[in-house]
Structure 1
Amino acid sequence: MATDGGIHHHARGEWREPSLSHRRIRFQKGLYADFHHFFLLTDGEGELHFDDGEHRALHGPALAFLPPQARCEVSIAAGAQAYLIGVSPQIMVDAIGDKVESYSLRIFIEQMKLIEEPDTAAVGEINPLISGFVRELGDPARASWMVVSAYMRLILMAVWRSSGGEKAEQRGRGESGSILQRYRQLVEVWLRQHRPISDYAKELGVTADRLHSICQRALGRSPIQLLHERVVQEAKLRLERSTRNIQEISDSLGFRDPTYFSHFFKRKTGLSPAGYRAVARASAGSENSVLSSGYADWP
């Protein structure tokens, strides 16, 4: 496992060759307790065992995505072969980024996904990405956070598409639903630009009043309230899950200076960014309503 920049604390990549004996792997254990995992059974038989007693049989090829809350382990039959990769919340934040698809990916990673019979094209796309991820971590001389994050972004996109996420969005939910969905996507793209709501309305081809009406009717909040909630949510995620300092987070969110960012954040949450981070670190592993609970909190 690579040690460059502490990458081994934030990513794991394993290739399980065929063995003569049965094997069992616990996903969220020790260093990997908060990791998001992908398990690709390329050939043979396996079974997922969940802490609540549920079992799911696997017949290769099969792919499972397991967020931290999916507490489980996998058994691999003799002769089976598989890849296991995982990343910390910090790498997942980098991988998801803040592009048009980021909103959908944030929602996507909140739930376990099991693709039991992926089509040939999906396997052909995902397999080399996962094997590339493993190779990158297996070479201490070149293992790179940036490369690992890039691989994870490509893997997420490939799995999201193969599971039908992209097609579901394209079908839309009527005119109002489509406008609201596009507004969410624009927020992801323009989040750091602090544009007025009139710019969003113009890009969507509606009036500001029309956009306001759609948001109020669907979610009970105005467009600016939703935008501010999204900025606060992103700030919380970065304070909790990244190692960046307050100025770097302020800059990454497009604030003109960290003082203005601190005032905005405290006005919305009641805590300064530094205070929030301190609470997050003190509350690690516990339930705390002050903290962000996940990527999907924004409506």
Structure 2
Amino acid sequence: MVSDSGIHFHARGEWREPSLTPRTIRFQKGLYAQFHHLFLLQVGTATLILEGEDQRALLGPTIAYLPPQSRCELHMAAGAAGFIIGVSPQIVVDAIGDRAESYALRIFSEQPWFMAEPDAVAVSEAQPLLAGFVRELGDPARASWMAIAAYMRLILMALWRAGGVETAEQRGRGGSASVLQRYRQLVETWFRQHRPMTDYARELGVTTDRLHSICRSALGRSPVQLLHERLVQEAKLRLERSARTVQEISDGLGFRDPTYFSHFFKKKTGFSPATYRDFARRSEVAESHVLSSGYADWP
């Protein structure tokens, strides 16, 4: 992992006081070109101008979340005030983690999100998290990667819930939920444990043959193929977006040793982990089809 001494290359945070004049902020500029940004407008009005899209007016209290591909600038009206925070893709990887909710958060983190209408309750939940994030970065003696990633995880969870996604997913777990949807949820929870497919089938209340038939019919791949694709996708993300060693990535994904992980990765991608990471870091091949294109690729 990148040391905490470099945290200011991976995170930014500021409170913008009310001003007598309008202000313009360009999010993706210089060091922050690939940052995920969040703007909490506490009072006043602002306008977001997204590249290739119409203007979006904001009325406080409200929140806007902007992934790196959302090239935009923010115009804060006189008297407007709010928080602006940003983090690198490496911190987002750590913030999202590898728990049951991680799959949904990964998808959420790849798309712009705007509060449909002013929501004082949701803003009041997120506001102290952003304030803590800004305080953490503002004290050089204590600014911690772990703390910033933890704040970002809580912030993403708050936004995800504010959008009503969690409630919809909970409703989907009832009788109308498909076996495939529940299999995907189980894979997200268990894929690092390398459990046999019989464990998945037993938890889902179906036979392994039935699970195989459902996955083949819906996605054209077997349950094992989907599970392996999820492992490869996670390995790609960690190789691309973190400074962890191959052994640390292997351990984090539940492989018994780095050599076995390397053989598995090369069999699935055609590249060793080290070669893949080297490709990912070369700007001239950043658009190569072998690279991970985002969190929502599986499956």
TM bucket by the smaller chain? over 0.9
**TM-score of the pair, normalised by structure 1:** 0.95
Q: Which amino acid aligns with 2:63?
A: L
Q: Is the 8 A contact 2:27 2:33 kept in 1?
A: yes
- The 2-side partners of 1:270 and 1:81 are apart by 51
Aligned equivalent of 2:145: 145
**TM-score of the pair, normalised by structure 2:** 0.95
- The 2-side partners of 1:139 and 1:109 are apart by 27
Q: How far is 1:174 from its partner?
A: 8.0
- The 2-side partners of 1:119 and 1:23 are apart by 24
Q: Is the 8 A contact 2:133 2:151 kept in 1?
A: yes
- The 1-side partners of 2:165 and 2:39 are apart by 19
| Gap regions ≥5 residues in structure 1 | none
Question: 274-283 vs 168-177, which deviates more?
Answer: 168-177
Aligned equivalent of 1:230: 230
Aligned equivalent of 2:72: 72
3-state SS of the aligned residue for 2:57?
Answer: strand
Pair 1:284–1:120, CA change in 2 (3 A): farther
Aligned equivalent of 1:93: 93
- The 1-side partners of 2:4 and 2:255 are apart by 31
Structure 2 residue 194 is matched with structure 1 residue 198: no
Aligned equivalent of 1:8: 8
- The 2-side partners of 1:285 and 1:176 are apart by 43
Q: Which amino acid aligns with 2:185?
A: Q
Aligned equivalent of 1:56: 56
Q: Is the 8 A contact 1:4 1:140 kept in 2?
A: no
- The 2-side partners of 1:222 and 1:184 are apart by 12
Aligned equivalent of 2:39: 39
| Gap regions ≥5 residues in structure 2 | none
1:91-142 Cα offsets, whole Å, 9 max, x none, are 1001111111011111111210000424332122111111111111111111
Question: 280-289 vs 173-182, which deviates more?
Answer: 173-182
Q: Is the 8 A contact 1:61 1:118 kept in 2?
A: yes
Aligned equivalent of 2:129: 129
Aligned equivalent of 2:163: 163
- The 2-side partners of 1:113 and 1:90 are apart by 20
- The 2-side partners of 1:39 and 1:64 are apart by 5
Aligned equivalent of 1:256: 256
- The 2-side partners of 1:71 and 1:133 are apart by 23
Detail structure 1 runs of 4+ shifted over 4 Å in the superposition: 173-177
- The 2-side partners of 1:285 and 1:85 are apart by 29
Structure 2 residue 183 is matched with structure 1 residue 183: yes
Aligned equivalent of 2:207: 207
Q: Is the 8 A contact 1:176 1:214 kept in 2?
A: no
Q: Which amino acid aligns with 2:147?
A: V
Q: Is the 8 A contact 2:50 2:70 kept in 1?
A: yes
1:212-267 Cα offsets, whole Å, 9 max, x none, are 12211221111100000000000000000000011111111111111100000000
Q: How far is 1:184 from its partner?
A: 1.4
Q: CA RMSD in A?
A: 1.6
- How many residues of Structure 1 are paired with residues of Structure 2 in the alignment? 297
Q: Is the 8 A contact 2:279 2:285 kept in 1?
A: no
Q: Is the 8 A contact 1:48 1:74 kept in 2?
A: yes
- The 1-side partners of 2:22 and 2:38 are apart by 20
Q: Is the 8 A contact 1:118 1:162 kept in 2?
A: no
1:52-90 Cα offsets, whole Å, 9 max, x none, are 152101111111010111110101011100100111111
3-state SS of the aligned residue for 2:192?
Answer: helix
3-state SS of the aligned residue for 1:193?
Answer: coil
Pair 1:12–1:285, CA change in 2 (3 A): farther
